Amino acid sequence: MYRELRAASLREPYASGETPEAELAVDAARAAAIAQQRATSDESTTFVLYTEGHPAGMIGAYFDSTPARRAFVSELWVAHAVRHLRGGVLLVDTARAWLAARGAVKIYAWIADQNRSAIRFYEHVGFADTGERAPIARVPGAMKSLFVSREHA
CA 104 → CA 90, 129, 151, distances in Å? 18, 18, 11
CATH code of the domain covering residue 60: 3.40.630.30
Number of domains present in the structure of the chain: 1
Query: pLDDT digits over 99-113, tens only?
Result: 999 999 999 999 999
pLDDT of residue 95: 98
Assign 4 a pLDDT band (cuts: 50, 70, 90).
low
Assign 2 a pLDDT band (cuts: 50, 70, 90).
low
Average pLDDT of the chain to the nearest whole number: 84
Q: For residue 119, give the DSSP letter.
A: H
Range of the domain at 58: 2-149
Question: Does the pLDDT value for residue 96 go beyond 90?
Answer: yes
Query: pLDDT digits over 70-91, tens only?
Result: 999 998 989 888 888 899 999 9
Higher-scoring residue by pLDDT: 50, 8: 50
pLDDT (average), residues 104-123: 95
User: Rounded to the nearest 5 degrees, what angle is found at the Cα of 115, between the Cα atoms of 92 and 105?
Assistant: 35
Q: For the chain, give the number of residues.
A: 153
Query: CA-to-CA distance for 74 and 72, rounded, in angstroms?
Result: 6
